[in-house]
Amino acid sequence: MESRVLSRAAAFSAVPQLRKLPRESCRSGGLCFASPKPIGTVGEGGNLIWGRQLRPALLLESSQGAGKRDILSPCLAAASSPAGGGDSAGETKIAPVGFFEKYPALVTGFFFFMWYFLNVIFNILNKKIYNYFPYPYFVSVVHLFVGVVYCLVSWAVGLPKRAPIDSNLLKLLIPVAVCHALGHVTSNVSFAAVAVSFTHTVKALEPFFNAAASQFILGQQIPITLWLSLAPVVLGVSMASLTELSFNWVGFISAMISNISFTYRSIYSKKAMTDMDSTNVYAYISIIALFVCIPPAIIIEGPQLMKYGFSDAIAKVGAIKFVSDLFWVGMFYHLYNQLATNTLERVAPLTHAVGNVLKRVFVIGFSILVFGNKISTQTGIGTVIAIAGVAIYSFIKAKMEEEKRQLKST
């Protein structure tokens, strides 16, 4: 062992003799051991991966491995350094900082931009498809099917690695997926029936249903300030609905059912809290939701699609454009939902809440510009009031959640 170490050091330094190492730092055998160094804390970023703290088991394994590397590293550099350079043997090289660590604000801004961009493109393309192919149940299945294929391909290449699922977790995720499927289908029924801007205005009522469910189903006390902040939302949606030029009851009721479905999805999601990462959870939910959406699509729209639905769409835009539109709308749907989840993991809840409100403003504004929807003055004022109410509610709610976390941490 001693001869091998000395021969490597001699070849490395190309000097005839080795300097005698200090007795305090070397043991018999010619090997020199560096003193152990403490592992970096979470605050230093040593145990963070994309904003997530590693589990204790992983921290223990990494700290043990790092300890071994520090303790068992032979100081061959001391043997190869020239006289008088012994102090440089204990120096550690600092690894270069990557782009993501050097510019975190820029990366987060990119996540927000892509979230908004994909959401706007999805809503516009989705509505254009309904203008020549008004079959929301089938299109909803396509959305989920493309997303599931994307997840399966990602698992196949290991980006990300598929997390195993057992029967207990499956039972917890099924109610979440059913509510997700129902909310998704009813949202698309509303998109097909009325203007995109009106659907998003009605869906601004979702915080109201969330608060009501928390108060009367979960038994959580909702402060009066939150209830008061929801009053402008109800008022604004009511004003917009009374004078909406594209109003019909199918679109309005479907958007309301979507709000209720997503509210129950939030309730079941709290009961199905798991250590699995969000990407894998969303993939499993999409797979289950796909199987939930297929039967009603076949029963409700299957006969019409086989008789004239597909043939009419192909006659209007051509087979290639029809298939490509369905593929891209499904891809945009999956990616914008995934980007929304990834953005939430990178920012505080308050920032995400404000971003969600601004996203709805972007979607409403761009849909009006692209489709040229005429809106009355009262509808415009009602939409602004509703969005402002959602912003106030999101701000108060996020501040409350932040205070709760600070109390728990202290």
Block means of pLDDT (10 residues each) for the chain, 410 residues, are: 43 44 45 43 33 35 42 41 46 60 78 88 95 96 96 92 89 93 96 90 84 82 85 87 82 93 83 77 93 96 94 96 97 90 70 72 83 82 88 83 82
Residue type, 82: P
pLDDT tens for residues 339-369?
887 777 777 665 666 677 778 878 888 888 8
- 360 C-beta neighbours (distance < 10 Å), count: 20
Using alpha carbons, list the distances in angstroms from residue 102 to 98, 99, 107, 108, 111: 6, 5, 10, 12, 16
- Dihedral sign, Cα of residue 347, residue 350, residue 353, residue 358: negative
SS (H, E, C) the chain: CHHHHHHHHHHHHCCCCCCCCCHHHECCCCCEECCCCCCCCHHHCCCEECCEECCHHHHHHHHHHHHHHHHCCECHHHHHCCCCCHHHHHCCCCCCCCHHHHCHHHHHHHHHHHHHHHHHHHHHHHHHHHHHCCCHHHHHHHHHHHHHHHHHHHHHHCCCCCCCCCHHHHHHHHHHHHHHHHHHHHHHHHHHHCCHHHHHHHHHHHHHHHHHHHHHCCCCCCCHHHHHHHHHHHHHHHHHHHCCCCCCHHHHHHHHHHHHHHHHHHHHHHHCCCCCCHHHHHHHHHHHHHHHHHHHHHHHHHHHHHHHHHHHHHHHHCHHHHHHHHHHHHHHHHHHHHHHHHHHHHCCHHHHHHHHHHHHHHHHHHHHHHHCCCCCHHHHHHHHHHHHHHHHHHHHHHHHHHHHHHHHHC
Rg of the chain in Å (alpha carbons): 29
Residue 73, Cα to own-chain centre: how many angstroms? 41
What is the length of the chain? 410
Structure tokens at 397: 């709610």
Task: State the pTM of this model.
Answer: 0.68
Degrees to nearest 5, angle at CA 357 with 179 and 191? 50
b/e sequence 167-205, b meaning 16+ C-beta within 10 Å: eebeeebbbbbbbbbbbbbbbbbbbbbbbbbbbbbbbbb
pLDDT tens for residues 360-394?
878 888 888 888 877 788 888 988 898 888 888 88
Helix 104-132 / helix 310-317 crossing angle, nearest 10 deg: 110
Q: Residues 128, 325: contact at Cβ < 8 Å?
A: yes
Structure tokens at 296: 């009603």
- Quote the longest CA-to-CA distance of the chain: 94
Residue 195, Cα to own-chain centre: how many angstroms? 27
d(C-alpha 341, C-alpha 356), whole Å: 11
Backbone angles phi, psi at 157, to 5 degrees: -95, 0
Structure tokens at 169: 């977790």
Nearest to 267 by CA among 187, 213, 345, 223: 213
pLDDT of residue 91: 54
